[in-house]
Homo-oligomer: A and B are copies of this chain.
Amino acid sequence: MKKYIYIYSPSGAVRDKVAFKRGIKRLQTLGHEVEVDVDALTSHQRFAGDDATRLAAIHRAADSGADVALISRGGYGLTRLLPDIRFKKIAKAIDKGLQFVGMSDFTAFQSALLAKTGAITWAGPALGEGFGVEGTPDEIMEACFDDMLCGQGEGAGWRQARKSVANTSKDIATNPEDIRAEGSFDIQDAVLWGGNLTVLTTLLGTPYFPNIKGGILFLEDVAEHPYRVERMLTQLLYAGVFKRQKAVVLGQFTDFKLTPHDRGFNMGTVGQWLRQAIKAPVLTNLPYGHVQTKVLLPVGARTDLSVNSRGALLVWGHV
C-alpha cells in the first residue's frame, strides 16, 4: 500500500549519508512516496541542527500531512527539546492519521507525548539503521512496518524459548528455566509503553515520565553494561513504577562488554534480580531493540498479553 512518508531529524546529525539515501531508496522501492525535511541533513555539533532547527523539524513533520513521520536516526538531542515541543499539536496530527515512528533517543519524545496527551506513537526502526542497511532490510521488521501502514496484523508474538527465530542477539535471560518461570497467564486491556531504558529513566521525577497504571512496560538498551541496566532498574523499582505494571517485557540488551571483574554478573543475573524484586511477571526475548529483527510496538495503545509455555503474544486493537 503506497504511503506518504516524511523523514526528519530530531536528534543526532546524520553522518552516514549513504545509509540515509539507501533508506529513502528502499522506501521508494517498497512503493512509498518519501519527503525529506529541509533540515534532515543539517549538522550542529553532534546534533542535526541547533535546538530551534530540530524543534521546527518536529513541528513541520506534524504539519506535513504525511501518513508516517519517520526519524532519520537516534543519538541524543530530544531531551533538550522537551519543554518547547508543542505536544497538543503533535497529538492533533496523530488524531488526523499521522503515525510517528522511531526509537532510542525518540523514547524521550514518545514518553513525554504519552505523559502530556496520551497520544499513541510507534516504537520501531529509524530510517538509516532500519531501511538503509547494506543488502536487504530485515524481513520481519519490514513486514511489521507494512502491517502498521495497513492497520493489519495487530500484534506481535515471540517465543519465550531461547532459540526463537527472532532472537538474533544476546538475550537478557540466559537460563531457559528462568525464561519459563512465569508460567501461563493473560492480561487484558493494559497500556503498552516503554522503549529505551536509559532514555526512559532519564525522565523519572520529571513531568515527562508517563504515569501508567496497570500497564505493560517494555524495555531495551544498547551499549549499557549489565550493572548500569540493573542500576536503572533499581530506579524504576524504588520510584514505584514496577508495582504499577501488570507485566514487564524485556527486549534486546546488546553491544555491552563484560569484564573479568564481573565474575558471573551478567544480563542473566540482572533478570533474576528483577524477578525476585518485583511481583509482576518479567518476560524476556521480545524482538525489539538495537537489532535488525524487530517488531513495531504502539506506545500508549491498549494491549492484551497472552503467555504460555511456548511463547508470548501482544495484541493491540486497531491503532
> Which residues in chain A, 251-266, are within 8 Å of chain B measured between CB atoms?
261-265
Residue of B nearest to A15 (CB): B261
Interface 0/1 of A37-79, CB less than 8 Å to B: 0000001011100000000000000000000000000001001
Stoichiometry, copies per complex: 2
Q: Per a CB cutoff under 8 Å, which of B46, B79, B239 touches A231?
A: B79
A88 sits at the interface (CB 8 A):
no
A203 sits at the interface (CB 8 A):
yes
Of A80, A82, A208, most buried by chain B (CB within 10 Å of CB) is A80
Contacts of A265 in B (CB 8 A): 45-47
Query: In the assembly, what is the distance between CA of A202 and CA of B43, in Å?
Result: 31
Query: In the assembly, what is the distance between CA of A234 and CA of B199, in Å?
Result: 11
A207 sits at the interface (CB 8 A):
yes
A315 sits at the interface (CB 8 A):
no
Query: Is the Cβ of A76 less than 8 Å from the Cβ of B227?
Result: yes
Apart from the given pairs A13-B263, A208-B238, 18 other A-B contacts in the complex at a CB distance below 8 Å: A12-B261, A13-B261, A45-B264, A47-B265, A76-B231, A79-B234, A80-B273, A82-B238, A83-B238, A202-B232, A202-B235, A204-B204, A204-B206, A204-B235, A205-B239, A206-B235, A206-B238, A207-B238
